[in-house]
């Protein structure tokens, strides 16, 4: 049975949640359905039967609206909004970030005592980001179909993968939501794909924190530290041979 994507959701039609786990479950449902739809449509193109219309599906989002200042536990630097208003963020890869989302959602609910809103944003999921394995999307197409892919699907655009929120250069638009997270879903997906590209390792196998460096002496120091840790894990005779 063909997949049908969840359409873009207006705030009035989105679902409201007072339970963090239920909110995450809905995020996962929206995300998995929409990415499955894109993969299904892409397989039509790969098999020589390109879709007759542009195939698009969008990221889920979470939003919170507060109408009054809230006293919060300021020992934490997350899980709250600084002043009344509507805040939102697009979301991706709930399979990777479920624990993170759960912690954030639970803190927002605890601190503000208002429901979380979950729906489908108007931000398209690029076809490359609908695949989580090491598939090279263009590599699965005949040369004549590569251009058709760009006509039939949304593709990554650097213009929407910027770091303006984290860099404090974000310019709010009157009447638009304030950002609820430092990075948007497309920016996060782009980073996950860069991790795989540069390391050859699936992002699910990374620990929580990653240090990027292009200074050789840092790399040498990491190698030294790694060898020391490996030596401690070896038996004394094996360590001596090393």
pLDDT tens by residue, the chain, 242 residues? 567 899 999 999 999 999 999 999 999 999 999 999 999 998 888 888 877 788 999 999 999 999 988 777 767 778 889 899 999 999 999 999 999 999 999 999 999 999 999 999 999 999 999 988 766 677 667 777 777 888 889 998 877 777 888 888 888 888 899 999 999 999 999 989 888 888 888 888 888 777 776 677 777 888 898 888 888 877 666 656 65
What is residue 216's predicted lDDT score, i.e. its pLDDT?
77
What is residue 213's predicted lDDT score, i.e. its pLDDT?
67
What is residue 25's predicted lDDT score, i.e. its pLDDT?
98
What is residue 77's predicted lDDT score, i.e. its pLDDT?
78
What is residue 178's predicted lDDT score, i.e. its pLDDT?
93
**Token output for 154:** 């949304």
Q: Look up the pTM and report it.
A: 0.83
What is residue 74's predicted lDDT score, i.e. its pLDDT?
67
What is residue 125's predicted lDDT score, i.e. its pLDDT?
96
What is residue 1's predicted lDDT score, i.e. its pLDDT?
56
Report CA-CA distances (Å) from 130 to 77, 109, 112: 31, 30, 33
**Token output for 79:** 């899980």
What is residue 171's predicted lDDT score, i.e. its pLDDT?
85
Beta bridge partners of residue 58, listed in sequence order: 124
How many Å apart are CA 208 and CA 189, to the nearest integer? 16
3-state SS class at 44: helix
């Amino acid at each position: 049975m063909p997949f049908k994507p969840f359409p873009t959701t207006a705030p009035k039609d989105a679902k409201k949640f007072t339970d963090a786990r239920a909110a995450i479950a809905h995020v996962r449902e929206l995300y998995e359905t929409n990415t499955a739809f894109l993969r299904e449509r892409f397989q039509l193109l790969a098999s020589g039967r390109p879709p007759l219309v542009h195939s698009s599906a969008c990221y889920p989002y979470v939003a919170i609206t507060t109408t009054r200042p809230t006293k919060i536990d300021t020992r934490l630097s997350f899980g709250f909004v600084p002043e009344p208003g509507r805040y939102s963020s697009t979301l991706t890869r709930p399979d990777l970030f479920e624990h993170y989302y759960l912690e954030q959602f639970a803190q927002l609910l605890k601190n503000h005592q208002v429901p979380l809103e979950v729906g489908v944003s108007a931000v398209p999921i690029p076809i490359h980001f609908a695949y989580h394995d090491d598939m090279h999307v263009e590599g699965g197409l005949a040369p004549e179909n590569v251009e058709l892919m760009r006509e039939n699907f949304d593709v990554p655009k650097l213009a929407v993968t910027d770091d303006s929120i984290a860099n404090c250069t974000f310019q709010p638009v009157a009447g638009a939501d304030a950002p609820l997270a430092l990075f948007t879903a497309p920016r996060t997906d782009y980073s996950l794909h860069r991790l795989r590209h540069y390391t050859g390792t699936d992002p699910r196998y990374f620990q929580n924190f990653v240090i990027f460096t292009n200074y050789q002496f840092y790399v040498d120091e990491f190698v030294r530290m790694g060898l020391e840790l490996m030596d401690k894990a070896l038996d004394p005779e094996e360590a001596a041979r090393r």
